[in-house]
Structure 1
Amino acid sequence: MIDLQPFWLSFKLAGLTTLILFFVALPLSWWLSQTRSSTKPFLEALTALPIVLPPSVLGFYLLVVFSPNSGFGSWVEELFGIKLVFTFTGLVVASCFYSLPFMVQPLQNGFETLNRHMIEASYLAGKSKMQTLWRVALPNIKPSLLTSLIITFAHTVGEFGVVLMVGGSIPGETKVASVAIYEMVEVMEYGKAHIYAAIMLALSFAVLLAVYLFNHKQRTRGII
Structure 2
Amino acid sequence: MSWSPLILTLQLATVTTAVLFVVGLPLAWWLARSTSRFKSVAETLISMPLVLPPTVLGFYFLIAFSPGNAFGSWLEETLGLRLVFSFGGLVLASVIYSLPFMVHPLQSGLTALPDSLIDAARLMGKSRWEILRRVQLPNIRPAMLTGLVLSFAHTVGEFGVVLMIGGNIPGQTRVASIAIYDEVEAMNYEAANAYSLILFAVSFLVLLGVYWVNGRNGNPLPTGKRLLKR
Q: What is the TM-score of this pair, normalised by structure 1?
A: 0.96
**Gapped runs of 5+ residues in structure 2?**
222-230
Give, in whole Å, the separation in 2 of the partners of 1:16 and 1:79: 24
Query: What residue number does 1:181 align with?
Result: 180
Amino acid paired to 1:102: F
Aligned-pair identity in percent equals 54
Question: Is 1:30 the counterpart of 2:29 in the alignment?
Answer: yes
Query: What residue number does 2:92 align with?
Result: 93
Contact 2:142 2:220 in 1 (8 A): no
Give, in whole Å, the separation in 2 of the partners of 1:27 and 1:133: 10
Contact 2:141 2:220 in 1 (8 A): no
- What's the CA shift for 1:128? 2.5
- What's the CA shift for 1:191? 1.0
Q: What do you get for the CA RMSD once the two structures are aligned?
A: 1.1
Give, in whole Å, the separation in 2 of the partners of 1:223 and 1:104: 18
Query: What residue number does 1:215 align with?
Result: 214
- What's the CA shift for 1:180? 0.2
Q: What is the TM-score of this pair, normalised by structure 2?
A: 0.93
**What pairs with 1:1-224 in structure 2 (closer than 5 Å)?**
2-219=1-218, 222-224=219-221
Give, in whole Å, the separation in 1 of the partners of 2:111 and 2:80: 41
What CA deviation, in whole Å up to 9, does each residue of 1:92-122 have, x standing for no partner?
1111111111110000000000011111122
- What's the CA shift for 1:50? 0.4
What CA deviation, in whole Å up to 9, does each residue of 1:52-104 have, x standing for no partner?
11000010011111111223212211222110000111111111111111110
Query: What residue number does 2:226 align with?
Result: none
- What's the CA shift for 1:49? 0.4
SS in structure 2 at match of 1:141 = helix
Query: What residue number does 2:224 align with?
Result: none
Amino acid paired to 1:136: V
Contact 2:16 2:91 in 1 (8 A): yes
Contact 2:139 2:220 in 1 (8 A): no
SS in structure 2 at match of 1:188 = coil
Give, in whole Å, the separation in 1 of the partners of 2:68 and 2:147: 35
Give every structure 1 segment of 4 or more consecutive aligned residues whose post-TM-superposition deviation is greater than 6 Å.
Answer: none
Aligned pair count? 221
Amino acid paired to 2:75: V
Give, in whole Å, the separation in 2 of the partners of 1:75 and 1:46: 25
